[in-house]
Amino acid sequence: MKRLTTLLTAFLLCTITFAQQALWGNIPVVSPEIHDNNTVTFRLQAPKAVKVQVTGDFLPKQKQKIKTAHGEFEIPGIAELTEGKTGVWEYTTPEPLQPELYSYSFIVDGLRMNDPANIYLIRDVSTLTNVFIIGGDRADLYKVNPIPHGTVSRTWYNSPTLGMERRMTVYTPAGYETSGKRYPVLYLLHGMGGDEEAWISLGRTAQILDNLIAQGKAKPMIVVMPNGNASQEAAPGETSRGLLPPTTQLPKTMEGSYEQAFPDIVKFVDKNYRTIKSKSGRAIAGLSMGGFHSMHISKQYPDMFNYVGLFSAAIMPNKDVSSPIYEDIEGKLKVQFAKNPALYWIAIGKTDFLYKANVDYRKLLDENRYKYTYYETDEGHIWKNWRIYLTEFVPMLFK
């Protein structure tokens, strides 16, 4: 018995030793290091590397642009790291960074890689990037603060229109489980290549709602973030199709199927959550493709949503798309605006590739004297803007 105890003790000590190697085996490299003056130092231990660079949205955009079928996208800037005596490469921003949530990656001898010293990663379609936050001002809304917190859940629902079980992400505000109250609902839609994970991770929806509600700047509300790809059950890796790679090249995205099926989502939410089951208790908003969906869903069902938000929205369908959803757009807008939505909110960045499409759409609204609110920011088609738009839009809801 004594020998068995000794063997077990030795085994446990060995196991603990190996487990602790992950924590204590190497001298840690601190990266990113945010200094008191909000400059940031990035470090990478790569003694055999020839060239190390960092790229991210904290750097000025490059003048070179990539042309696509949808327009031109600016390329994130690149900065060179300098190698130290111990094989640790280093770069410090020359100026303090403004408050914001930033993303970045390293480029080592031409190969893009994540920062091994930073465990905080966010997926955007098929790209993983490290993130960090410079606090202060609006960026404090993106942080987890010592306030009451809501609940985030992944919920499956049946869509008879699409003929499949599908997944959505749902935020319920602090106190929902015990209050017995009914709440208004914001349906928040993602962009091309995104899924039901996009707004909750990249958009910081739970943190923004928690903070705005705690500050008394927003009404407590439920936020429903569905998957806007009508061919998908759920986000990549969360479906019966297995661990498929994420892609933007998905069928049934902007050809009418999702808009036709959207009442399935509203019916499920009204049945399974304590909602205000009326137009006055519903809002819909989305970014890019999600803005496209928000526009066409809200005009297709003019008695369903009293608040509409178009964030950097695509506007009109492609000319080769044929769907009853996109027939008589101007006639449907006339019906929608005759019913006086409480808020029709349009926001876009000055360098967004969809800027002209939004200018043309606003011209159409102006010509018909349809009331809307316009909000313009700098920069382009980026999550920085969409987080800003969410923080501006939410306080205007359900007043």
Q: What is the pLDDT of residues 128-176, one digit of tens each?
A: 999 999 999 999 999 999 999 999 999 999 999 999 999 999 999 999 9
- pLDDT of 8 > 90? The answer is no
> Which residues, in sequence order, are bridge partners of residue 56?
77, 104
CATH code of 72's domain: 2.60.40.10
Least confident window among 20-29, 78-87, 173-182: 20-29
Which tokens go with 133?
């936050």
388 contact partners, CB below 8 Å, separation of at least 6: 138, 377
pLDDT for 250:
86
**Do the strands 52-56 and 100-108 form a parallel or antiparallel pair, or are they unpaired?**
antiparallel
Residue 21: is its pLDDT beyond 80?
no
User: What would the pLDDT profile of 278-302 be if each residue is shown by its tens digit?
Assistant: 999 999 999 999 999 999 999 999 9
Specify if 282 maps to a domain. yes
Cα distance between residue 115 and residue 237, in whole Å? 24
Specify the pLDDT at position 126: 81
Inside any domain, residue 112: yes
* Range from 159-163, 317-321, 323-327, 364-368 carrying the lowest mean pLDDT: 317-321
CB atoms < 10 A from the CB of 297, how many?
25
Range of the domain at 387: 147-396
The tokens of 189 are what? 């839609």
Task: Please say whether the beta carbons of 345 and 372 come within 8 A.
Answer: yes
pLDDT at residue 309 tops 80: yes
Sign of CA dihedral 107, 108, 111, 113: negative
Per DSSP, the three-state class of 392 is: helix
Judgement on whether residues 316 and 287 belong to the same structural domain of the protein: yes
Give, to the nearest 10 degrees, the angle between helix 257-272 and helix 289-300.
80
Helix (H) or strand (E) holding 284: strand 282-287
Cβ within 8 Å of residue 302, ≥6 positions away: 332, 335, 336, 339
When the pLDDT of each residue in the chain is averaged and rounded to a whole number, the result is 91
pLDDT for 7 beyond 90: no
pLDDT, position 17: 43
Confidence of residue 245 (pLDDT cuts 50, 70, 90): confident
Residue 69, pLDDT score: 45
Q: What is the pLDDT of residue 24?
A: 46
Residues 119 and 160 in one domain: no
- Listed residue (292, 287, 326, 294) closest to 308, CA to CA: 294
Picking from 135, 159, 177, the residue at the C-terminal end of a domain is 135
Flag the least confident range among 18-22, 124-128, 161-165, 349-353: 18-22
Percent of the chain with pLDDT over 70: 90
Residue 217 — φ and ψ, nearest 5°? -90, -15
Q: Are residues 292 and 200 in the same domain?
A: yes
Comparing CA positions, the residue from 396, 383, 323 lying closest to residue 190 is 383
- How many domains does the chain fold into? 2
Residue 335 falls within a domain, yes or no?
Answer: yes
212-238, pLDDT tens digit by residue?
999 999 999 999 999 999 999 988 888
Whether 2 shows a pLDDT value over 70: the answer reads no
Whether residue 1 is contained in a domain is answered as no
Cα separation, 127 vs 124, in Å, equals 5
Residue 63, pLDDT score? 54
pLDDT cut 90: percent of the chain above it = 82
Q: Are residues 161 and 291 in the same domain?
A: yes
Give mean pLDDT, residues 199-219: 98
Boundary of a domain, candidates 106, 135, 164: 135
Does residue 67 sit within a domain? yes
